[in-house]
Amino acid sequence: MKKLIQLLLPIVLLLIPLFFPSNLLLAKEHYTVGTSGQTKPLNYFDDQNNLVGIEIEILQEIDRRNDDLQFDFEITEFSSLFAGLDSGQFDLVANNLGENPERREKFLFSIYPYIITHNVLITSLDSDNQLTMEKMGGKTFGVVPSSPQSIYLEAWNKEHPEQAVIIKYADSDPASLIRDVYNGRIDATIYATTYLKDVEDTYGIQLKAHPIANEEEIRIPGSYFIFRKDQEALRQKIDQTLQTLRQDGTLKAISQKYLGQDDTVLNNEIIQRNQTIENQRLLEKSDNHLISIEAIGLAFPRILEKLPTTLLITLIAGLIGLILGFILAMIKLKKVKGLKWLVNFFVSYMRGTPLLVQLFLAYYGLPIFLQWLNKTIGTNWDVNQVPAIFYAFLAMGLNEAAYNSETIRSAILSVDPKEIEAAYSIGLNSRQAMLRIILPSAMINAIPNLGNSLIRLLKGTSLAFTITVIDMMGQAKITAGANLRFFEAYIAISLIYWGLCILLEWTIVKLEHHYQVS
């Protein structure tokens, strides 16, 4: 028997590769790639909702050529990419990312860029020719926080106070910001020519592109895959495969497919510079602490600068929600003909859709509606002069009103019928009974639920930054973008919100005790 096994074993070992290919025998290592899915043509979703783009196709080709690895793509907003990389949620990030000293110090870059991009100053067609940054003083620039463009403009304002520009931060994609230049919402933005060309082709618009003399101060031309410091083996494998893709023409073909030209050629200057940086990295290991208590402390005062904005949104939206919520509740209780079904629809829609969607509808949809009114009835309202915070008041106030209307309605219905009968028995009419008996009792009963709604609103204001309003959450992202300490900034902002909510809870409890709410 032993002789039979010894005879058959070599044969079985020889046959295994025939029936089980090597890619099945090797255990695939899964790596998570963080990307925004909004950076067309680098990464975006096509008409079939497939994630495509230059970066996606390059990584998929690397995946195909390496049997032992597999990439899983995870979508997040741009400002969360480095936070996710820092926390270990992502193994690498790909989002047309350039280099700066802070990123180089904290993370690991692919040795060479996979594509070479150039940033330009983008303005409307009616702007002057050959504009420079020196001529843009006082103009409004739209940028994404923690992006190379925002860091460049912040440094520009510090170094050139007399020619400072107005920075309008937005948690948005390049296409939206470039279109905002065309629509007149902002005067200018800075982005790569690849983005500009894609937006012009997609939306049938035209804009002016002005070269920037000190382009390297924004970002040195070139887009990189960026890794965690502990992913050297993965970085090496990707670099080796990228070199093969460059040599066999695959990288060039991908560039021509999406850009219409080859933007992957590395000149001697780029090669020598990056090789020098890599040599220095191998000699000097960065002192990269996982968490910095000092950074948390430094984040607090900067974030608190925007506390008034957060409280203002909470106050105005809360008042709108309370007043309008009462009106809606009375319409439902009185069963006003022609309005009750409309109120039911409004409440159902506002409670059934995310607040973020409602903010976008207000911010992007209302200007379109006003432009339509201008054409229809001949008015001349300048929709671009409406401050973004107005849309936050509107969307959050309407959202709050929908919830408050049900709270107030149920509170009124909970008033003891005997109290109402007693009011009528002493000669009060319906209006007097409502104002003197029903509403005071109802509002006391509604205090707990209205308080919970106010706390929900306070936390909901953190979404205001998505429509360019710099509240505390927006300031936290901007602060983190300057030093890449996202985790520390988010700890600071969470403690601030927690403290505010505790203060609100304490106030609500005091009101409940004062009015003896049961």
Question: Mind listing the pLDDT tens digit for each residue in 222-238?
Answer: 899 999 988 888 998 99
Judge residue 92's burial from the number of C-beta atoms within 10 Å of its C-beta, 0-12 exposed, 13-18 middle, 19 or more buried.
buried
Reply yes or no on whether the pLDDT at 138 is more than 80. Answer: yes
Pairing of strands 43-45, 51-52: antiparallel
| Mean of per-residue pLDDT scores for the chain | 85
With cut-offs at 50, 70 and 90, classify the pLDDT of residue 282.
confident
Residue 22 has a pLDDT of: 47
Residue 78 has what DSSP assignment? G
Residue 517 has a pLDDT of: 53
CB 117 within 8 A of CB 209: no
Looking at the chain, how many residues does it have? 518
3-class DSSP assignment, residue 385: helix
Give mean pLDDT, residues 357-375.
86
CATH topology assigned to domain 119-217:
D-Maltodextrin-Binding Protein; domain 2 (3.40.190)
Residue 459 has a pLDDT of: 95
Residue 25 has a pLDDT of: 45
3-class DSSP assignment, residue 96: strand
Per CATH, 22-116+222-288 and 119-217 having the same topology is answered yes
CB 390 within 8 A of CB 465: no
CATH topology assigned to domain 307-469:
MetI-like fold (1.10.3720)
Reply yes or no on whether the pLDDT at 53 is more than 90. Answer: yes
Give mean pLDDT, residues 393-413.
91
Q: Name the residue among 227, 220, 238 with its Cα closest to residue 276.
A: 220
Place of tokens 């790909």: 94
Handedness of CA 18, 24, 27, 30 (dihedral sign): positive
Residue 142 has a pLDDT of: 92
Q: What is the CATH number of domain 22-116+222-288?
A: 3.40.190.10
Give mean pLDDT, residues 388-413.
91
Tell me which of 402 and 39 has the higher pLDDT.
Answer: 402
Domain limits, the chain = 22-116+222-288, 119-217, 307-469
Following DSSP, what letter does each residue of 167-199 receive, concatenated? EEE-S--HHHHHHHHHHTSSSBEEEEHHHHHHH
Distance between CA atoms of 501 and 116, rounded to whole angstroms? 47
Distance between CA atoms of 113 and 90, rounded to whole angstroms? 20
Residue 1 has a pLDDT of: 52
Q: Please tell me the chain's helix, strand, coil percentages from 3-state DSSP, rounded to the nearest 5.
A: 65, 10, 25
With cut-offs at 50, 70 and 90, classify the pLDDT of residue 24.
very low
Give mean pLDDT, residues 261-281.
84
Residue 9 has a pLDDT of: 52
Put simply, whether the predicted model's pTM sits higher than 0.75 gets the answer: no
Give mean pLDDT, residues 347-375.
89
Residue 216 has a pLDDT of: 82
Residue 286 has a pLDDT of: 47
Residue 64 is encoded by which pair of tokens? 């195909």
3-class DSSP assignment, residue 92: strand
Residue 116 has a pLDDT of: 87
With cut-offs at 50, 70 and 90, classify the pLDDT of residue 23.
very low
CB 196 within 8 A of CB 207: yes
Distance between CA atoms of 172 and 160, rounded to whole angstroms? 27
Top-ranked range on mean pLDDT: pick from 73-77, 116-120, 275-279, 511-515: 73-77
Reply yes or no on whether the pLDDT at 510 is more than 50. Answer: yes
pLDDT tens by residue, 442-478: 778 788 889 999 999 999 999 998 888 889 998 898 8
Place of tokens 């029936």: 19
Q: Which amino acid would we find at residue 180?
A: D
Residue 364 has what DSSP assignment? I
Reply yes or no on whether the pLDDT at 425 is more than 80. Answer: no
Distance between CA atoms of 457 and 404, rounded to whole angstroms? 11
Tell me which of 220 and 125 has the higher pLDDT.
Answer: 125
